[in-house]
Structure 1
């Protein structure tokens, strides 16, 4: 899923268009593997042709489908629909499956750009980008940003350029 050029102004360019880090999908993949093994074992362990076997099979399939939806499909869709886009003029966040929410922060109102990394984040090269803006919301926390240090440096440069340009006019 790329970023639509229709959402950009005339001279605006996309610098980064990111999904949250793929680490968000580790648990869903593990659940999927365990679920497949569990459902397969459960279906094969029940007797054929008996009422208990038929009802048991339906119960296993229904419980498996619910677990699949809640622990695998929903987190995948959440990961897929959460995007962070940094353009030459603003920071754009979009998230949500059913209800979409978005936020656009011009570089000129950003005061500070920092990042936080836990030990696992350092191993996986991701982290939380903390953007302080001169607005009612204050700080915006972008979780699980891939290559967070590189993104933080580039966004800081863009903010500095926007402030320098703003001061000249």
Structure 2
């Protein structure tokens, strides 16, 4: 897919779906609890209070984490990497391929089990930009490394060099 300024979208990523394991388990437990407990109390308002509490638990414990997971995206284009996150306050971070000096992969024990990991993009700043918990991190790192190798440097200018690739002679008057 091509963007409006001539870039190619290489990949769109999210963090691994295991981040939704606990919210899904909570949804199942709340559903089971409602199925078991609703209608067992003598007063109707007590049954409605159980429904209200369950709705609040599902909203905070299931819908909230799902919306946060859906709001965090990584887009890799032919020229840059764009990280977007946030629900109420949107944050956008861009890293141009020409700024990336090194690409590394970091994996914890749990990430090894699920074949995920963190891809670290070293740009020369004090802290690297981290693509957290992506699936197939080695493949992502290799793809970014290939894109970085193909990207010209920041000070690249085709007009500065002659046909032989040498810097042309200029005279100062």
Larger radius of gyration: 2
**Alignment equivalent of 2:59, drawn from 69, 76, 82:** 69
Match of 2:87 in 1: 97
Structure number with higher helix proportion: 1
- Report how far residue 168 of structure 1 moved: 6.0
Gaps of 5+ in 1: 48-52
Aligned-residue offset at 1:88: 0.8
8 Å Cα contact 2:84-2:91 kept in structure 1: yes
1:17 aligns with 2:12: yes
TM-score by length of 2: 0.82
What is the distance in 2 between the residues matched to 1:69 and 1:151? 33
- Structure 1 distance, partners of 2:94, 2:25, is 35
Q: Residues 5-49 of structure 1: CA distance to partner in whole angstroms, max 9, x if unpaired?
A: 34xx22x111111111111111111111001001221213223xx
Q: 3-state DSSP class of the match of 1:44?
A: coil
TM superposition score normalised by structure 1: 0.83
Contact 2:2 2:9 (8 Å CA) reproduced: no
2:130 counterpart of 1:141: yes
Q: Give the 5 Å matches for 1:93-132.
A: 93-132=83-122
Q: For 2:121 and 2:46, how far apart are their aligned partners in 1?
A: 52
The unaligned stretches of length 5 or more in structure 2 are 158-173
Pick one of 34, 39, 44 that aligns with 2:34. Answer: 39
Following superposition, the deviation at residue 104 of structure 1 comes to 1.0
